Amino acid sequence: MSSAKYPTAHGYLTEITRLKYIDAAVAKKVLPKDAHRMPDIISLSAPSDITKPIQFWQLFSVLGQDRIVGIVRNFYERVFDDEDWFRSVFARVGAADHHVATQAGLWLDVMGAGPAYHGGEFRLNFHHTHNAMQLMNEKGAQRWARLMVEALDASANLMTEDKRVRPSLNTFLTHFFGKYAEDFKFNNRETFGATNPPFKRKINFLNMTEAAIEALPEDELKDALIERGVNVEIYPDKRALVNKALSL
């Protein structure tokens, strides 16, 4: 089941961004190895089970357009009220409303609202290598992140009562910041707050065959046993853990 309130569709960047994020999250053990095949993860609609994180490409399904645009507008109000060395880079491209429209288009496109950022990756990369190049460094990143955190904190009323929204937004921003730091060769020391916790699926050994239990990664097998009060330290290897699971 889903907690989605708004109809979703893929944008120009949704699928490629989702693929890259999942690959990175699997490597960091934030998502399971088969995340690309798990409906709750790849769906554009947020899961109704509040113990499962909202992936950032599911955010439109719970926030809708007006809230997302509102958060972006809150950010650009701060940008255009900031010091000249920072504000002027944006002002040369266009007024605040221009930036709200383009940035909100990017967010909506990635977050499941459908095609909203025409030009996709080419346009995004062109913008940062031409329009925003002056700020693609540690100093610029630090100021951008500080203003975004302020905007997010001030936009709590736009995030609904679902406590999963803010960590999902933080995950989205952290993912893209990591990309920019790698692309432009600067150290990324910025944080936006707590990100999505590792995804934990509910494992019911009673509904699983021996082969299915054996196929579980050892860390997931251990976590599932620990949730049932099993002291996994007394089992010397995976085979022993599988036998214990089969006995439950």
Give which of 135, 123, 112, 119 is closest to 61, Cα–Cα.
112
Q: What is the per-residue pLDDT for 107?
A: 97
Instruction: Kindly state the DSSP code that residue 56 receives in the 8-state scheme.
Output: G
Q: What are phi and psi of 47, to 5 degrees?
A: -70, 145
Q: What is the per-residue pLDDT for 190?
A: 80
Domain CATH for 74: 1.10.490.10
Number of domains the chain is built from: 2
Please indicate, yes or no, if residue 194 is contained in any of the structural domains: no
CA separation for the pair 126, 106 (Å, rounded) = 14
Q: What is the per-residue pLDDT for 180?
A: 80
State which residues form the domain around 231. 205-247
Asked if 158 and 224 sit in the same domain, the reply is no
Q: 136's torsion region: left (phi>0), alpha (psi -120 to 50) or beta?
A: beta
Q: Render each residue's pLDDT in the chain as its tens digit; 248 residues.
A: 556 799 999 999 999 999 999 999 999 989 988 899 999 999 999 999 998 999 999 999 999 999 999 999 999 999 999 999 999 999 999 999 999 999 999 999 999 999 998 886 757 765 566 566 677 788 888 999 999 999 999 999 999 999 999 999 999 999 998 888 887 788 877 889 999 998 877 788 988 999 999 988 888 899 889 988 999 999 999 999 999 999 98
Please indicate, yes or no, if residue 193 is contained in any of the structural domains: no
Asked if 32 and 135 sit in the same domain, the reply is yes
Asked if 112 and 228 sit in the same domain, the reply is no
Q: What is the per-residue pLDDT for 122?
A: 58
The model's pTM: 0.82
Please indicate, yes or no, if residue 155 is contained in any of the structural domains: yes
Asked if 90 and 125 sit in the same domain, the reply is yes
Give which of 146, 163, 233 is closest to 197, Cα–Cα.
163
Q: What is the per-residue pLDDT for 146?
A: 95
CA separation for the pair 31, 197 (Å, rounded) = 9
Asked if 222 and 174 sit in the same domain, the reply is no
Place of tokens 């036998």: 243
Q: What is the per-residue pLDDT for 119?
A: 82
Q: What is the per-residue pLDDT for 247?
A: 92
Cβ(35)–Cβ(26) under 8 Å? yes
Asked if 123 and 67 sit in the same domain, the reply is yes
Q: What is the per-residue pLDDT for 174?
A: 94
The angle at the Cα of 85, spanning 81 to 75, to the nearest 5 degrees, equals: 35
For residue 213 the two structure tokens come to 């239990």
Place of tokens 């409906």: 39
Please indicate, yes or no, if residue 3 is contained in any of the structural domains: no
Q: How many residues does the chain have?
A: 248
